[in-house]
């Protein structure tokens, strides 16, 4: 008997590739400077220029922190900028940037109406569970999702067995729409 639905996002609910839009990097710089106000415009722009075109290397381990750390070392900002703040700034909201597939919301609603727990499980470069929760809330889908599990939070990429740690060490998950 099926006990839960595990859904990936890219290629399932919306396209697998991020559509670059004019102004995305300006928005990332703005978000970065809000997260780290001591960062100069030039430092924030250089970080975004390095990280904007980045793709996740083929690896079992999640390497976002390594990519961000390397970029931060190249830029050498005059202020300490947490890796997570840079990653969060790079993770632009989906609303208005990505067109969900037709029927995606109805799929989630239908599973929810049938009492099926829905877990979003996704390999990504920037988007952690908090970002997914924001995106699903903005799309009106958050109430249909039980939990969000991202490779950014877990530190491993699917299908590596460590993406689903043993019950004694549960993954970082972000529940519901709170």
Mean pLDDT of 88-116: 95
- Give how far the C-alpha of residue 7 lies from the chain's centroid of Cα atoms, to the nearest Å: 14
Contact 83, 124 (CB under 8 A): no
More confident residue, 90 or 164: 90
So where are the chain's domains?
A: 5-18+99-175, 24-90
Q: What's the rounded Cα separation, in Å, for the pair 164 and 13?
A: 22
pTM higher than 0.75:
yes
Backbone angles phi, psi at 5, to 5 degrees: -105, 120
For the cut 80, the answer to whether the pLDDT of residue 14 exceeds it is yes
Contact 60, 157 (CB under 8 A): yes
pLDDT digits (tens, 9 = 90+) for 17-43: 888 888 999 999 999 999 999 999 999
Report the CATH number of the 5-18+99-175 domain.
Answer: 3.40.50.1000
């Amino acid at each position: 008997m099926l006990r839960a639905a595990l859904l990936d996002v890219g290629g399932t609910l919306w396209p697998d590739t991020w559509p670059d839009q004019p102004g995305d990097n300006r928005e990332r710089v703005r978000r970065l400077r809000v997260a780290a106000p001591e960062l100069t415009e030039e430092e924030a722009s250089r970080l975004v220029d390095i990280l904007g075109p980045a793709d996740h290397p083929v690896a079992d381990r999640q390497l976002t922190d390594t990519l961000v750390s390397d970029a931060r070392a190249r830029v050498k900002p005059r202020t300490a900028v947490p890796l997570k703040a840079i990653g969060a700034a790079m993770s632009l909201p989906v609303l208005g940037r990505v067109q969900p597939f037709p029927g995606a919301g109805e799929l989630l609603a239908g599973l929810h109406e049938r009492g099926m727990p829905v877990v979003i499980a996704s390999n990504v470069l920037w988007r952690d569970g908090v970002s997914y929760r924001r995106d699903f809330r903005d799309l009106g889908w958050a109430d249909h999702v039980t939990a969000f599990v991202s490779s950014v939070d877990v530190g491993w990429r699917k299908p590596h067995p460590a993406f689903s740690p043993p019950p004694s060490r549960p993954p970082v998950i972000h529940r519901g729409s709170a």
